[in-house]
Amino acid sequence: MLVFHVATTARSGMYNITADVRQALRRVLEEFPGARSGALALFCPHTTCGLTINEGADPHVCRDMVGFFDRLVPQDAAFTHAEGNSDAHIKCTLHGPSLLVLVEDGALQLGTWQAIYLCEGDGPRRRSVWAQWLPGPSGR
Amino acid sequence: MLVFHVATTARSGMYNITADVRQALRRVLEEFPGARSGALALFCPHTTCGLTINEGADPHVCRDMVGFFDRLVPQDAAFTHAEGNSDAHIKCTLHGPSLLVLVEDGALQLGTWQAIYLCEGDGPRRRSVWAQWLPGPSGR
Amino acid sequence: MLVFHVATTARSGMYNITADVRQALRRVLEEFPGARSGALALFCPHTTCGLTINEGADPHVCRDMVGFFDRLVPQDAAFTHAEGNSDAHIKCTLHGPSLLVLVEDGALQLGTWQAIYLCEGDGPRRRSVWAQWLPGPSGR
């Protein structure tokens, strides 16, 4: 299992971790030279941030998305959790903690416009992302 | 990795891709005759549509769901992304880009009422879905 | 593929299934003694409940989350599905039907505050959760 870290800089925001995921895949391929096709399972071990995949080209998309989720789940809603970050827990579940990205011939397979994001809901913090290689039909 | 396509016919809607996923599994089993149990990882390489699993029997469920998401994320909200489809990007993240379906004894395992859907947010378009076979404990 | 069951006690609520998932992993390790590292794919075969991972320490988080989703998707919205549970179908898709949890050296890998939940939307019912072992790079 591989681990990488993301330093978030605001209470809520989206952080492009595509390069980190590519680097994790390179480490898998170095350690298991036979690995070619399969999937990389990504897992976020936190409860106030999540993972998603969305457009990586125009930063306005992330801005619109973060703004939408901030309005959908306001911080000052009548929540009971004493830490005052129930909004971030809810966003975490809306985004989800786990993702699968496919790998073919040793290359991460993403659509033309896709980038992988960590969605911060209660930053700034130092976050971890875990990655596990799941071999495809060749069994490697 | 297998690819299949879906032709969507409206700006937003849910398209039942269960038969396409079963067909993808058949192609896996033909190519890897030892494959019996594991999971099929499904991945949507687009940023304005996603994947989900929900009821396949009564079409009113999909109608209610599409209507709900259209109201939750209106197209005319004050978004900044110039293409005018930020709503579709947000729905894409709410649905998610990746799904796992389990396979046992060569058969796709779904609950009685479940069907697999591509959730279009910015159609009509020709969409792709990618599928990767992840072998279970037998290693095949 | 392993199956375990959850008896839900109210129309909507979150049920901590972490212990059930650990038990499922123990059964995998007993049946496949070589299994060490990989992922457990969890799948919910229903269309009115889903799976998520969130805080397991303070029950106020779940209370806030269930309350939020109940307000976001009210039961009495103008839905057309005759069974009157379109809200539960929509929540099911918002939570998602499948999850991946990572396993390393035979141990379930969760963050400090994480617990795995079944999110009931149309209970009380007896629910099933399916689990499939996906071996990591060792191929076991």
pLDDT tens for A43-73 read 999 999 999 999 999 999 999 999 999 999 9
> pLDDT averaged over chain C?
95
B93 touches A at CB < 8 Å: yes
A64 touches B at CB < 8 Å: yes
Question: For A4-54, what is each residue's pLDDT tens digit?
Answer: 999 999 999 999 999 999 999 999 999 998 889 999 999 999 999 999 999
The whole-number pLDDT of residue C140 equals 57
Q: Does A118 score more than 70 pLDDT?
A: yes
A104-107: long-range contacts, CB 8 A cutoff, minimum separation 24: A104/A36, A104/A37, A104/B1, A104/B132, A105/A36, A105/A37, A106/A25, A106/A29, A106/A35, A106/A36
In the 8-state DSSP scheme, what is residue B77? S
C106 touches A at CB < 8 Å: no
Band the pLDDT of B139: cuts 50, 70, 90.
low
| CA-based nearest residue in chain A for residue C138 | A140
Q: Does B117 score more than 70 pLDDT?
A: yes
C140 touches B at CB < 8 Å: yes
On chain C, the residues whose CB falls within 8 A of the CB of A98 are: 53, 99-101
Q: Does B21 score more than 60 pLDDT?
A: yes
The whole-number pLDDT of residue A139 equals 61
The whole-number pLDDT of residue C134 equals 97
**What share of chain C has pLDDT > 70, as a percent?**
99
Average pLDDT over residues B54-70: 95
Question: For B68-95, what is each residue's pLDDT tens digit?
Answer: 999 999 997 779 888 899 999 999 999 9
Neighbours of A103 (CB within 10 A): 23
Q: Does C139 score more than 70 pLDDT?
A: no
On chain A, the residues whose CB falls within 8 A of the CB of C72 are: 72
The whole-number pLDDT of residue A98 equals 95
The ipTM of this complex is 0.96
Average pLDDT over residues C24-30: 96
Nearest C-alpha neighbor of B118 from the set B100, B92, B89: B92
State whether B45 and A134 contact (CB < 8 Å). no
Band the pLDDT of A82: cuts 50, 70, 90.
confident
State whether B64 and C79 contact (CB < 8 Å). yes
State whether C63 and A80 contact (CB < 8 Å). yes
B132 touches A at CB < 8 Å: yes
| CA-based nearest residue in chain B for residue C48 | B54
Average pLDDT over residues A68-92: 91
The whole-number pLDDT of residue A140 equals 58
State whether A82 and C96 contact (CB < 8 Å). no
Question: For C70-116, what is each residue's pLDDT tens digit?
Answer: 999 999 777 988 888 999 999 999 999 999 999 999 999 999 999 99
Residue partners of C22: CB distance under 8 A and separation at least 6 = C108
